[in-house]
Amino acid sequence: MAERLSTTASYLGACLLPAAAARRAAVARSSLPLLPSPPRASAALRSIHLIPDGHRTALRPSSPLSSLRPRLCQRPQATSRAISSSAVCSASDPAQLKSAREDIREVLKTTFCHPILVRLGWHDAGTYDKNIAEWPQRGGANGSLRFEIELKHAANAGLTNALKLLQPIKDKYSGVTYADLFQLASATAIEEAGCPKIPMKYGRVDVSGPEQCPPEGKLPAAGPPSPAAHLRDVFYRMGLNDKEIVALSGAHTLGRSRPERSGWGKPETKYTKDGPGAPGGQSWTVQWLKFDNSYFKDIKERRDEDLLVLPTDAVLFEDPSFKVYAEKYAEDQDAFFKDYAEAHAKLSSLGAKFDPSEGISIDDDSKTTAQQQFVAAK
């Protein structure tokens, strides 16, 4: 649950070894969405969640994270003072959350970074383990993915670029936690690409130091020996079911897989050679920046060699339980949208500690505003 709950993972997803080595290692290891984004071959598992989108921000040679050394949690009104590793951030400020959402929308318009932002949110949440009660040991949506140690996990290859896109917004709105910002960006990216409103809540508390990051190997793999069993192992651990696994996998309608990062996909296709964003990679769908049910249709038909099908994609129409939902979503986009929105909201809250405990809503149901949807490439 590669750029596919991955399923950065992947559905619910957002790599440096040679492609051949990556393929050999993929069977043994692991973005949307969690969601799939094919990871690189140097770690224990590969992520199958959403694959990094085309926007690749150049990193300074001196230090890949030098411009984003994330400030340890800041209290809402602080602008530069770091707090101790034993403290935690206060809840996010609703007004700042709303303003941050508008800034995210502007970033999406100019960078076409929808897939990688979805993957970032999924991979922060997708480490959750329902069998561990203590926070933050249980993993989940707690902002830990801002730390270099977790960004270096193979499944998170490329997500430094997503953090670079969001860091200026975090600097501007100190009253928004990283955990909330990652999930806000993920939901906003999906909605702007065409998904109906996702019932999100905010107020997630951040972990305060890298020692609180989860161990590597929590996210789904793109090419495990037994794809159905692997998906269930990973997503059941998070408390998700077969319907949610399939619905989240549908987020692979967004994004591309880049073989130089993950070992999966073609260097470019007729659908990706001209971008938007940096050209190249192989997409799951023709209009890979439009959120709809075409992923399920394309996986079912397999008529186009320029469209990617990973083992964890194909199994959705092979496993009897998964197939019920995959067939349904291929025929009924409204049903897919409904189930996806619910599954995305659930995923975004996994493992989170909320302050206040009931969470914060930043949507006024009594005042609906028309959303300007992103127009996908033809």
Q: Catalytic residues, which ones?
A: 123
Structure-block tokens of residue 141: 């949506």
Burial class (CB in 10 A: 0-12, 13-18, 19+), 105: middle
Helices (H), 9-93: 19-26
Peptide bond into 136 cis (omega under 30): yes
Of 1, 58, 12, 22, nearest in space to 254 by CA: 12
Using the structure block, give the residue that is written with the tokens 């590669």.
2
Return d(Cα 155, Cα 239) in angstroms, integer: 21
How far from chain centre, in Å, is Cα 156?
10
**Tell me, what DSSP letter sits at residue 163?**
H
E strand spans, the chain:
256-257, 282-283
Helix axis angle, 320-331 relative to 242-249, nearest 10°?
A: 50
Of 79, 91, 201, 69, nearest in space to 148 by CA: 69
Cα–Cα distances in Å, from 320 out to 49, 86, 94, 234?
A: 22, 48, 44, 19
First to last CA, the chain: 28
Return d(Cα 142, Cα 133) in angstroms, integer: 14
User: Cβ–Cβ contacts within 10 Å for residue 359, how many?
Assistant: 16
Rounded to a whole number of angstroms, the CA Rg of the chain reads 18
